[in-house]
Structure 1
Amino acid sequence: MLLKTLSTLGAITPPKPSPLHPNSTGISPSFARNSISGIGFLGHHRNPLLDAASPVAFGAVSRRVLELEDKCRGFWIANAAFDGGSGGDGGLGGWDANGGSSGGDGSSDDVPSIFQWYSSALDKHPVLTKSITSALLTLIGDLICQLLIEQASKLDLKRTLLFTLLGFGLVGPTLHFWYLSLSNLVTLNGGSGAFLRLLLDQFIFSPIFIGVFLSLLVTLEGRPSQVVPKLKQEWVSSVVANWQLWIPFQFLNFRFVPQQFQVLVANFVALAWNVILSFKAHREVVLK
């Protein structure tokens, strides 16, 4: 009724109904909220009849808009890690990780529900959740390396198991505590903080971690005598490859992604890194 009255007065142009939902107005929550708050149609000009409008009516519309915005909140959170994030180094700020799922058909709820579930798992069991995530991605990385890069005629299941075990027992927990410590150690916000975290991560942590990973993998595979030759052969090239892949990404990760999601986002990029690392870790050692 309020929108119809305003349309009659020429204050707004009524939106066309959505083809998918003929009874809907098609107004986005952000547009409606901005309009009611004075950024939209109320900010363009004043109308005596609008000044006399019932506060109750405006309150009802405002509450409805906020309800719609809350329903969309899950989708915004699902994209927050890539579009600006929350908390952490700046970003939008103020969003938590418990947004509700959007309405409509079941397919529109999938992505928000997944992120909501993952966020809940991170809150309850952060180390275990990140360890399982790392294990799955190291598993996929080694399979891709064997099947697509090395084109092995038969899978080496022992190799895959050990590589996955290190993902679960070493990569996930180590990255969890490292990112947490890094966030507490560097308290600067914005680009300066992200750059400082990047320096510490790539030029102190990464070289050490790669050396430890290669050493443990070779040892678990029953080749402890080849640890030193393996490091001499692969460590430098692995660190350089790590810098080429991770330096651009980690700057964006530290700059925009909330700390609790940094391991998740890093692990998806780590899928490519795991393929590289698996190839280098299992390349035959050339003894000199």
Structure 2
Amino acid sequence: MHVGYDLFERVMPVVGGGGGGMYRSSLAALSHVVADSVFLDGIFVCTGIVATGLLEGRSLRGHVLPNLRSVYLPTLRASVMTSSALMPLQFLSFRFLPVQLRVLSVNAVDLVWTAVVSFVSHGGGKGASDD
């Protein structure tokens, strides 16, 4: 996240981005939120499913990759819906917090996101003991 947020800030700075004032800063913050949702969420969903499977002691080829193929798109859809609902909080974080505090702030918001993604990627509680 740190690398992504630093990159977002270099490409379109929220703080000290030249002329345009509040409008430019708000547009930059909105761009950061959209980029976070579009680019980083897909990566986090994929790595989360793979890492969880491996940490649960599942085999990569026998369970983790087939599970990734079956739950990635529904989980990504749930992620997009959750991210959309949380966008106002993320916008405020990107708009008013310095880069160093954005990850901490977004991590607090991501507790809800992680719970939803975990719930969906594990079949919504169905078959939790089927392993």
Instruction: Identify the residue that residue 96 of structure 2 maps to in structure 1.
Output: 256
Partner amino acid for 2:11? L
Cα deviation, 1:205-261, whole Å, max 9, x if unaligned, reads: 22332233223323443122222012144322232222222x211111111011111
Question: Structure 1 regions of 5+ residues with no counterpart?
Answer: 1-174
Matches within 5 A, 1:49-198: 175-187=1-13, 188=17, 189-198=24-33
Aligned to 1:237: 78
Cα distance in 2 between the residues matched to 1:207 and 1:178:
13
- State TM-score, norm by structure 1: 0.34
The residue that corresponds to 1:228 in the other structure is: 69
> Alignment identity in percent?
26
| Distance in 1 (alpha carbons) for counterparts of 2:117 and 2:48 | 9
Uncovered stretches (5+) of structure 2, i.e. residues with no partner? 18-23
CA contact (8 A) 1:253 1:266 kept: yes
Deviations 1:86-143 (A, max 9, x none): xxxxxxxxxxxxxxxxxxxxxxxxxxxxxxxxxxxxxxxxxxxxxxxxxxxxxxxxxx
Root mean square deviation, CA, Å: 2.2
Q: Using a 3 Å threshold, how does the CA distance of structure 1 residues 271 and 232 change in structure 2: closer, same or farther?
A: closer
**Which of the pair has more CA radius of gyration?**
1
Change over 3 Å in CA distance of 1:241–1:181 after alignment to 2: same
Q: Deviations over 1:262-281 (max 9, x none)?
A: 11111222222222222223
1:179 to 1:204, Cα distance in 2 relative to 1, 3 A: same
In the alignment, the residues of structure 1 paired with residue 55 and residue 106 of structure 2 have an alpha-carbon distance, to the nearest angstrom, of: 25
Q: Which whole-Å CA distance do the structure 1 matches of 2:75 and 2:104 have between them?
A: 27
Aligned position for 1:208: 43
Normalized against structure 2, the TM-score is what? 0.69
Q: Which amino acid aligns with 1:185?
A: V
Per residue, is there more helix in 1 or in 2? 2
Q: Deviations over 1:160-212 (max 9, x none)?
A: xxxxxxxxxxxxxxx11111121112124521211221221122222332233
